[in-house]
Structure 1
Amino acid sequence: MGGLSLVCGECGAHLKTVEEAQEHAELTSHSHFSESTEAVLNLVCTSCGKPCRSKAESDLHTKRTGHTEFTDKTLEEAKPIDLESAPKVPLVPGDSSEATASGSTAPEDMVVPEVNKELLKELESMGFPTARAMRALHFSGNSTLEAAVNWIVEHESDMDIDQMPMVPVTRVESIKPSLTPEEAKAKAQELRERARKKKDEEEKKMEREKEKERIRVGKELLEAKRIEEENERKRILALRKAEKDEEKRAREKIRQKLEEDKAERRRKLGLPPEDPVTVRPATSVVQEKKSSLPVRPASKAEQMRDCLRSLKHNHKDDDAKVKRAFQTLLTYVGNIAKNPNEEKFRKIRLSNPSFQDRVGSLKGGIEFLELCGFVRTEDSEYLFLSVEKVDMAILNTAGSELNSAIVNPFFGVL
């Protein structure tokens, strides 16, 4: 038995004619073909007339369209392969050239079917190739633009999707457009309007989703800001409580020291110690009467701390300038503590531009230096600290207060 098909030796594809083998070689660069006695299937759908070359292709067509009835015409058209010459299939209606070698007249009876030219133009304007558009119109019944588009979507993976459809000459006259040009235009306008509405709905839906996302992000930012403010408030309260506890412990130590000094003086004078039971009511009365007045003079450290707080409060709009003033004061105090005998560190010209810019122009800067022991000269030209009045304890206290004011981010906010 002669060969009924050509099989590709590299991918195993079965090809019906020599022309198909040539096209396959051009597309895939495969060059090894051999004859096969197995014919390529020709299963024709009885519902829409689509030819299927294999069982897998017919199953896929059934899955997409629901068409289950096929006519097997494989044996009717199975003819031996002619390797000498290949018949040429006419690509346009009316081309009746005959095969020169094989003598077969089958290709002469196949022509391009007539389709609705208005629908064809619509499909071409939508970007579809001419062959694909004509194939869609032919196999969808040449009825409506929507049916043709649906057919293209369903068959876009077909291998022959971009091949020009061919039908026998006897079927050409039976294929007539079912819609007039006016009806086709109306249908096309309807499809365009439907597509526009669908696009508008998708854009509105996307905009709603974006708005929901913006609202969600906004809520998250507000919640994060609220949590941050709450944490900041808690830190400030904790810092204020710690400062109050520190002041309370300092007052208690001073009170105990005063009690000890008082007891020591009574002992030196030969007086008996005070009875706590008899002294307590008098103390409470005094405290009650003087509750609105300071019970003790402020210590040097507290005076320095209050001075620095006042300086920061008076210039709260310029944190950088306040911090620079604190660092400059710390430098003055540190230089004196390291070199107490150097007069240049203990003498400051009040009219010095650098001093005025950093410390002198800020309310509270000169007052802090005076708490450290500096005094104005008689001509008010200098701030001077005599070597006899250099007190290391006061300088250390001043350095500690300045360092605390620099490193503590909440200093002066209470």
Structure 2
Amino acid sequence: MAGVSLQCGDCGVLLKSVEEAQEHAELTSHSNFAESTEPVLNLVCTTCRKPCRSKTESDLHTKRTGHSDFSDCTSETAKPISLETPKPEPVSSASAAGAGVVEKEEEMIVPVVDAKLVEELESMGFSTARATRALHYSGNASLEAAINWIMEHENDADIDQMPMVPVSAKAEASKPSLTPEEAKIKAQELRERARKKKVEEEKKMEIEREKERVRIGKELLEAKRMEEENERKRLMAFRKAEKEEERKAREKIRQKVEEDKAERRRKLGLPAVDPTVSKPAAPVVQEKKSSLPIRPATKAEGMRNCLRSLKLNHKDEDAKVKRAFQTLLTYVGNVARNPDEEKFRKIRLSNPSFQDRVGSLKEGIEFLEVCGFEKIEGGEFLFLPRDKVDMAVLNSAGSELNSAIVNPFFGVL
């Protein structure tokens, strides 16, 4: 029996002609073809007249549309296959010249494809060029075939380039597209698939965002821990400096007491203490030096220097100095407890009570400026802007004022 089809040895599909085999080879890169006596099926739906070339295709059509009655027209369309590729008849130059034919390169145009299928693919997010190329190379048969072709060739370099074919190919009839029922069902399936894909992508993005939030949270906690550790080190250094200052003040007072004793012995006619008899020296305790770097507290040192200068400038007015310290502590405490209240952040310099308690004392206004207060309206007011309220600075100011009030040796040296 003569061969009526060509069978692909790689995938087993049956093809009607050499042209179909060439097109199949271009699309799939399959090259193993052999002549077969098995005809290509031609099952025509008696309801909508759609041709199906395989049992699988007819089952799919039945599943989508419910049409189950097919007419087998295979024997009517089967015919011996020709293995010779038709060649164009040569045109002699003489006859071409006599007929007025001018040899030129054939014009290339965009292939004709099903416009409805192009619209459906565009509605799914594909570009016009990609939709046209997919329909053309998938045989302009169905929406599913075009989608499958796009999925197989989405990495091609020319996937978004408009395909071009010779003008002669324009006359070729396009193959029948999906019925309205099939198109509706297919569009619903594709929309559902796209929705599921979007949901999965959103879940992945949410997981990534959660990981990023966790990472940022850990970094913030670590930064807070380091800041607390540095603050602890600065506080230890401050306490150590206070103790050293108290030790020096006590030593100075002890020396003064010894001098007073010697003076009283001299006035009473008692012999002076023999300086050659030395008292047992107290054991020298060698202090360990910390190897940890300590960041200088510039604001705290500035505040302490202002308070020391204020006390030294008014060393004979202890009550007035103490009242100034307590007044400054009240100003700082009011701002710390009520940072949003402007009345606590604004001080009139000409106020008699302020001038009597703080303004008339040297370094009193300077202390408030170190805390962040600024002179405004031509120097009539001291004002602390809300955005410059630093609770750490205010806390340091409170600590320095409290130390100056309760420490009897503050500012002695």
For the aligned pair, the TM-score class normalised by the smaller chain equals 0.3 to 0.5
Larger Rg: 1
TM-score scaled to structure 2, two decimals?
Answer: 0.46
TM-score by length of 1: 0.46
Q: Which has the higher contact order (CA 8 A, sep 6+)?
A: 2
